[in-house]
C-alpha cells in the first residue's frame, strides 16, 4: 500500500514554510518526548531546553507555560 503525505497550510502561506514547520515540530516532539521519558517535569524540561540552547517557537524564550502548551499542541503526555 502506498502512503500519501499531506501538508495542510493556510491560504497564502508558502509551501516551503509548511515543510519547515512540520520538520521543526517533529524535532521538537522528539526532544520533548526524550526529556519527559527521563522523568523530567515541565519545569525541568524548560531548564534543559534553555541549557542546550534549543530554539523556542516564534522566537520567544522557553518558560513553563510554553513547554506545557507545546506538549498539548503536539499531543505529548507531560504528566
Domain around 73: 40-79
Distance CA 7, CA 48 (A): 31
Q: Are 71 and 32 in contact (CB under 8 A)?
A: yes
Distance CA 28, CA 34 (A): 10
SS (H, E, C) 22-54: HHHHHHHHHHHHHHHHCCCCHHHHHHHHHHCCC
| pTM for this predicted structure | 0.67
**Inside any domain, residue 76:** yes
pLDDT at 37: 94
How many domains does one find in the chain? 1
**Inside any domain, residue 3:** no
CA angle 62, 65, 67 (to 5 degrees): 55
**Inside any domain, residue 15:** no
Residue by residue, pLDDT tens for the chain (79 residues) are 566 666 666 666 665 544 455 678 889 999 999 999 999 999 999 999 999 988 888 778 999 999 999 999 999 887 6
Amino acid at each position: 500500500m502506498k502512503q500519501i503525505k499531506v501538508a495542510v497550510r493556510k491560504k497564502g502561506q508558502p509551501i516551503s514554510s509548511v515543510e519547515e514547520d512540520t520538520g521543526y515540530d517533529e524535532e521538537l516532539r522528539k526532544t520533548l518526548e526524550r526529556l519527559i521519558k527521563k522523568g523530567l517535569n515541565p519545569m525541568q524540561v524548560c531548564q534543559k531546553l534553555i541549557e542546550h540552547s534549543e530554539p523556542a517557537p516564534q522566537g520567544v524564550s522557553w518558560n513553563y507555560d510554553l513547554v506545557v502548551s507545546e506538549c498539548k499542541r503536539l499531543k505529548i503526555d507531560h504528566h
